[in-house]
Structure 1
Amino acid sequence: MKKFFLAVVAAGVTMTSGSFAMANHHGTDAKSPEIVERNARGVATKVKIEGKVYAVCMDGMTDGCINPRAAGLKWGNRPLDYWPGKPASQMD
């Protein structure tokens, strides 16, 4: 019975430590984009992240592009820190 208990504890510790390692991917590994193209105003329009080039979402372009903040740029829409009570499409 002792061996079974030790095996269960060891398996639990192994599984728990692995989940901590997998979950810790946010803070230090932040994306650092390489700006590939800029518009006439000097604003990044294409970035390269991990070897892949993405178009940056701009006014009127919302499909097939990456949000500037998600790309690691310091501009663009920010997620809300609160729930406004209803979706923007239902607001006056």
Structure 2
Amino acid sequence: MKALFAAAAAMGLAMTAAPAAADDHGTKAKSPEVVETNARGQATKVRIEGKVYDVCMKEDQDGCINPRAAGLKWGDRPLDYWPGKPASDM
């Protein structure tokens, strides 16, 4: 009985976990409006559907949108496959 209760409690906690901070917002914008750029000319802020988002950069990866998810033509591409074992299994 205790094991069943513990499993149910763990499932309840797993279902209420917070989403990842670097969120793609479920948006695949076709042409984002660039609001701000850096010295290299890369977009650092974009406007999508009236809302302004910070674009994830090498030094800033929390609370931002992935450049590809924002509709920009640079940044990491999602993998179509699992690359292998997790680091914890190596």
The root-mean-square deviation of aligned C-alpha atoms, in Å, is 2.1
Q: Structure 1 residues 38, 86: closer, same or farther in 2, change over 3 A?
A: same
Q: Which residue of 2 is the match for residue 50 of structure 1?
A: 49
In structure 2, C-alpha distance between the alignment counterparts of 1:91 and 1:53, rounded to whole Å: 40
Q: How many residues align?
A: 63
Q: What displacement does 1:66 show?
A: 0.2
Identity of matched residues, %: 74
- State yes or no: 1:60 paired with 2:88: no
Q: Which runs of 5+ in 2 are unaligned?
A: 1-27
Larger radius of gyration: 1
Question: Could you list the runs of 4 or more consecutive aligned residues of structure 1 that deviate by over 3 angstroms after TM superposition?
Answer: 89-92
Task: Give the TM-score taking structure 1 as reference length.
Answer: 0.61
Please name the residue that 1:26 is paired with.
none
Which one scores higher on RCO, CA 8 angstroms, separation ≥ 6? 2
* Displacement after TM superposition at 1:44 (Å): 0.4
Q: Which runs of 5+ in 1 are unaligned?
A: 1-29
Residue 90 of structure 1: how far off its partner (Å): 3.7
Corresponding residue for residue 33 of structure 2 = 34
Shift of 1:73: 0.3
**Higher percent of residues as helix:** 1
- Which one-letter code corresponds to 1:75 in the other structure? W
**Structure 1 equivalent of residue 5 of structure 2:** none
Change (3 A) 1:82 1:34: same
Q: Render the CA deviation track for 1:28-74: whole Å, top value 9, x for unaligned.
A: xx512000000011110000000000000001211110000000000
